[in-house]
Amino acid sequence: MTSTDLHDITILAVGALSDHAATRIPGIFSVLRMEKGDAALVTPEMASSVRGIAAFGAVNADLIDALPKLEIIASFGVGYDAVDARHAASRGIMVTNTPDVLTEEVADTALGLLINAVRELPRAEAYLRAGRWESEGAYPLTGATLRGRRAGIFGMGRIGQAIAKRLEACGMSVAYHNRRQVDGLAYDYHPTLVSLAEAVDTLISVVPGGASTLKAVDMTVLKALGPKGVFVNIGRGTTVDEEALAKALADGTILAAGLDVFADEPRVPTALLDLPNATLLPHVGSASVHTRNAMADLVADNLESWFSKGEAITAVPETADAKPKAR
């Protein structure tokens, strides 16, 4: 299909597009916009014309069913828990995500969160800005250090492995838990999350959201991590029992936490906001212009490849067998 033909194809852009996405996708396709993924917002024009979704927000089964000509959902982000991929698969609809292009950025953010949590850098900066260095003297020495720490990675996938390399460079030992041991990886494998938490003092969660990881990091895991324990979450907020985490941080069950993700974003529980030993970020793991542009390009490239060659570039496993509809 020529690029002129691609302009005859209608893509529904769901959610807030970055400037780059808002230039790139309409440069290829005809684009309709929807502020958030909601079947009630589907117009007759959308229902009769939309063949692809560029998903910058959630896409549920009702929205999929409201678009009878839909062939592909190209989701922005490697985690696609907000897209009902199983439902899409049942209707033969392709779902793509944006792996790899964000891996190193997110791993950098995880390391930053860990150092912030262990060495209290945000608190030290706040101390300086409040004039306390001048009035009270040096910021107190931190009780914790990276030296001698033993890290456990919950989710040793693409990002987990990039984090592991950084932790090794910091002199830390690394172990991990996945459902399956990764072939050819020398790090110690633990068949359960509790056994991993017992073996380490630094737990980094980078698993996808969804039913299999829901509240996996609970009080049992936090107790196993112990009083010197530092917990970092760069994966999904739903993977943690946030009430248990706030309690564990408040009563010394663990030492500190660094969190980029929360169960009900952008709302962050007051119990976490109130804790001095929690360092908190507003889901900025991949949030540089460089990386977000690369993610937007992969969304556009997946749509372009699907409609011009009949192939997606980065299909999610649930829809790997989906094929273009004959027209």
Torsion angle (degrees, nearest 10) of CA 303, 286, 107, 238: -90
Q: Based on CB atoms, which residue is closest to ligand 8YV, 79 or 152?
A: 79
Neighbours of 217 (CB within 10 A): 25
Query: How are the residues of the chain apportioned to helix, strand and coil, as percentages rounded to the nearest 5?
Result: 40, 20, 40
Which of 33, 91, 158, 283 is an active site residue? 283
Smallest distance from ligand NAP to CB 77, Å = 6
Q: Based on CB atoms, which residue is closest to ligand NAP, 118 or 159?
A: 159
- Token pair for 119: 């060495």
Active-site residue, 265 included: yes
Phi/psi for 159 (5° steps) reads -75, -40
Q: Based on CB atoms, which residue is closest to ligand NAP, 103 or 202?
A: 103
> Which x/- pattern over 166-205 shows residues binding ligand NAP (rule: CB under 6 A)?
-----------xxxx-------------------------
Residue 237 contact, options ligand NAP, ligand 8YV, none, Cβ 5-8 Å cut-off depending on partner type: none
Q: Which of 77, 98, 73, 75 is nearest to 87 (CA)?
A: 73
| Rounded CA separation 221/193 (Å) | 7
- Token pair for 308: 């011009």
Smallest distance from ligand NAP to CB 32, Å = 27
Per rule CB under 6 A, is residue 208 in the interface with ligand NAP? yes
| Rounded CA separation 229/216 (Å) | 17
Active-site residue, 120 included: no
Per rule CB under 6 A, is residue 155 in the interface with ligand 8YV? no
- Token pair for 189: 């494998």
Q: Could you tell me which residues come within 8 angstroms of residue 29 by beta carbon, excluding any fewer than 6 positions away?
A: 6, 7, 9, 10, 11, 52, 303, 307
Among 261, 263, 278, 322, binds ligand NAP (CB under 6 A): 261
Segment lying near ligand 8YV (by CB under 6 A), choices 113-121, 138-146, 279-287, 312-320: 279-287
Residue 158 contact, options ligand 8YV, ligand NAP, none, Cβ 5-8 Å cut-off depending on partner type: ligand NAP
Q: Based on CB atoms, which residue is closest to ligand NAP, 202 or 205?
A: 205
| Rounded CA separation 265/97 (Å) | 20
Specify the residue for token string 């300086």. Answer: 128
Per rule CB under 6 A, is residue 76 in the interface with ligand 8YV? yes
Alpha helices of 102-189 — where are they, by DSSP H?
103-119, 121-129, 132-136, 158-169
Q: 117 to 176, contacts with ligand NAP by CB under 6 A?
A: 155-160
Per rule CB under 6 A, is residue 72 in the interface with ligand 8YV? no
Neighbours of 13 (CB within 10 A): 24
Q: Could you tell me which residues come within 8 angstroms of residue 280 by beta carbon, excluding any fewer than 6 positions away?
A: 258, 259, 268, 272, 273
How many residues contact ligand NAP, by CB under 6 A?
A: 29
> Which x/- pattern over 211-250 shows residues binding ligand NAP (rule: CB under 6 A)?
-xx--------------------xxx--------------
Active-site residue, 318 included: no
Q: Based on CB atoms, which residue is closest to ligand NAP, 9 or 197?
A: 197
- Token pair for 162: 């990039």
Smallest distance from ligand 8YV to CB 77, Å = 2
Residues near ligand 8YV (CB under 6 A): 76-79, 102, 283, 285-286
Binding residues vs ligand NAP (CB under 6 A): 78-79, 99, 102, 106, 155-160, 177-180, 206-209, 212-213, 234-236, 260-261, 283, 285-286
Residues identified as active-site: 236, 265, 283
